[in-house]
A and B are shown apart, each in its own frame.
Chain A
Amino acid sequence: MKCNRIVLWSLLLSLGTLISVSSAQQPPSATPASIEAVQVIGLTGVKQNSKGNLKVENGSLTFAFSKSTCEVPAASIQDVVTGTDSQRVIGGTVGTLSRLAPYGGGTALSLLRSKVDIITIQYRDPNGGLHGAIFTMPVGKAEFIKEALLAQGAHTSIRSQAKSNSNSPLQSEAMEQTK
């Protein structure tokens, strides 16, 4: 009797472990509530290089910035492409001024770089006019946005490589670039 209980408990424990491991291995499918992003260019009424928050909800891509928002219906997006790049950690005016630092200090500062994800969209306005927009965001976030947009009716010329386990994100981006 006691032996049966021990077997039962051990079975339950092993099952629980298996379930927790399998759920941990699955890629996160839910889109984060909002992602910090920089709108490089393209959205109507938004200045270049505006910082804000990007999210996909209710069938739209929403960019919220300084108490204002800009929405692009996912259905109007005819192409979503992701990419990667790097940028200076110290940018803007301070970054430019830092180039003048003596004894090669400016050059040393320019070596401090961070990787970023890029997401590029092309969409049509109600008159049929074609628009494009570019966003940069922390590494690993662009695929979430792309997947969420595709799920809500956006189109892409390059299918996501995230589902393929064999390819690393960098490899998939390289493939995207060469297509």
Chain B
Amino acid sequence: MKTIKRAAVLLTLVTGLSAAPLLPAQPPPVVKPPAAAIEVEMIQPGEISLPAEFQVALYENLVQELQKKVGFSEVYRDGDRNASDASDLVTLHTTVIGFKQGSELKRDVTTVGGATSITIRCQFTDKEGKVLLERDITGKVRLTGDNLRATDDFAKKAASVAQETFSSDSTSSDSKKSGYKNVT
């Protein structure tokens, strides 16, 4: 009888121990850096010859996407004096590192050629200038649409990266309801 009890206890222990690794491992909680506001600097062409309309479309689309999607309470434009008073301000610096201007006509006719792509180095820094995140993001237009649609693609991807990276605890309830953030 004693042997049976011991065997049962042992069996339970062995089963329990062997089952433990099969349980899904809990990922360590990711601590997102707090960011109540973001300042978007003008796109820097760097050494790339970038047409002015692309530079402006990239900047404007980026500001619009950040206002729409991401939980920043304020989205400041380059040079906005109000940004200096904002707490937990993150600044987004962007530099073009690759640009290939395709052709809408070629895309329409061939459906495989003429793609436009823009690769931009995005650097998120805090108020002290410490780099919080650096990532290269590419915007493309492959099939339909004009060349400037690549700027829209880039902006959506960059806004998603910002959303994944920074916490949005300070977002006001009104802006959450409307789906749009405060426009500055």
> What residues on A are CB-neighbors of B53 within 8 Å?
40, 81, 83, 85, 118, 120, 134
Would B49 and A178 count as touching, CB distance under 8 A?
A: yes
| A99 with B79, Cβ < 8 A, contacts A79-B52, A132-B56 known | no
Task: Decide if A124 is an interface residue (CB 8 Å cutoff).
Answer: yes
Interface size on A, residues (CB 8 A): 32
| B61 within 8 Å of A (CB atoms) | yes
B49 touches A177 (CB 8 A): yes
Closest to B63 in A: A131
What is the size category of the interface that chain B forms with chain A? 20 to 34
Selected interface stretch from B8-16, B89-97, B103-111, B170-178: B103-111
Q: Which residues of A contact B55 (CB under 8 A)?
A: 120, 132
- The answer on a CB contact under 8 Å between A120 and B108 is no
B82 within 8 A of A: yes
User: Hey, which chain A residues are within 8 Å of B82, CB to CB?
Assistant: 127
Instruction: Indicate whether B76 reaches chain A with its CB closer than 8 angstroms.
Output: yes
| Residues of the B chain whose Cβ atoms lie less than 8 Å from the Cβ of A106 | 108
Which one of B49, B77, B108, B144 contacts A130 once the chains associate, using CB atoms below 8 Å? B77
Known: A107-B109, A128-B80, A132-B60. A120 touches B146 (CB 8 A): no
A contact residues vs B (CB 8 Å cutoff): 40-42, 79, 81, 83, 85-88, 96, 99, 106-107, 110-111, 113, 118, 120, 122, 124-125, 127-134, 177-178
Binding site for A on B (CB under 8 A): 42, 49, 51-53, 55-57, 59-61, 76-82, 104-105, 108-109, 144, 146-148, 184
